[in-house]
Amino acid sequence: MNYPKLLTIQDISCIGQCSLTVALPILSACGAETCILPSAVLSTHTAGFKGFTVRDLSGDMPAIAAHWKREGIRFDAIYTGYLGSIDQIGYVQDIFRELRNDGAKTFVDPAMADNGVLYGAFDMTYANAMKPLCFGADVILPNLTEACLLTDMPYRETYDEAYIAEILDKLHAAGAGHIILTGVSYKPDTTGVLVDENGERRYYEHKKIDRVCHGTGDVYASAFVGAYMQGFSSFDAAKLAADYTVKCIENTLGDESHWYGVKFETALPDLIAALHKHA
């Protein structure tokens, strides 16, 4: 197996099974040395808990990055998720420029919206500020809502292939090359991921589970990055990540008290087995 040195930049939601508390174990399970840069510390995620605390760590980011630079630390991949502020988007762009090894890949999950609405902490100014970060990254992993925000397209609940093609065309026109578009559903019982590598498109369709699930975007993106950095093709990584995410959701079904996240931990052996089967 490869042993890539990877940096992931996203918040720590202490409770809620999302962002770093998901990315770190999943990427480690995929065999990557996983370095972290926390963008903020929250007592919980923002989707359903009330009165959560937030400590924005934007101010620490330039000094942390400068220290790493002095130490000669560089990464084979940098993957960003939920960020705490517009300032951080600029700091992440600096990190992309300065802390990558030759040939390193940058992955951006815009992590700002779902189901047609922005997450509570964000507004359209933030959504627009996310555009240059996404369009400058090697690979982006938006869900459909985020892709609409990045292209100024209206979000629709039902649509056809032409609508998805228009969104992908607009993402390319804006500068995106490699797009992993999640949550593309043409039929009531199925959903899937549209993999677009420089205009070459393939769709992986899988079953849709009728449950609102927090943190699945982070589970998906982490598994995708982990598999891709192990040498999986984009489509195979997208498929593996989708199958793992479905398993995590299935693990959680029937436990209404576990509304805030998915039980991804007990499915990690399946993820590791899938990685090894392929390797």
Residue number, nearest CB to ligand PXL: 46
Residue type, 220: Y
Instruction: Provide the H-helix boundaries in the chain.
Output: 20-29, 61-70, 86-98, 124-135, 144-151, 161-174, 216-228, 234-252, 268-278
Q: Which of 119, 159, 163, 235 binds ligand PXL (CB under 6 A)?
A: 119
Stretch that binds ligand PXL, among 27-35, 45-53, 97-105, 131-139 (CB under 6 A): 45-53
For residue 109, the minimal CB distance to ligand PXL (Å) is: 8
Strands 113-114 and 178-182: unpaired
Phi, psi of 55 (to 5 degrees): -115, 110
Stretch that binds ligand PXL, among 42-50, 176-184, 194-202, 234-242 (CB under 6 A): 42-50
Does residue 49 bind ligand PXL (CB under 6 A)?
Answer: no
For residue 221, the minimal CB distance to ligand PXL (Å) is: 9
Residue type, 116: G
Does residue 26 bind ligand PXL (CB under 6 A)?
Answer: no
Does residue 140 bind ligand PXL (CB under 6 A)?
Answer: no
Does residue 19 bind ligand PXL (CB under 6 A)?
Answer: yes
**All residues at 6 or more sequence positions from 242 whose CB lies less than 8 Å from its CB, including other chains:** 192, 193, 204, 206, 220
Quick one: 228 exposed, middle or buried, by C-beta within 10 A (0-12, 13-18, 19+)?
buried
Q: Which of 46, 151, 191, 252 binds ligand PXL (CB under 6 A)?
A: 46
Cα 249 to Cα 92: distance, rounded to the nearest angstrom: 31
Q: Which of 6, 9, 26, 47 binds ligand PXL (CB under 6 A)?
A: 47
Binding residues for ligand PXL, rule: CB under 6 A, are: 11, 13, 18-19, 42, 45-47, 81-82, 111, 119, 215, 217-218
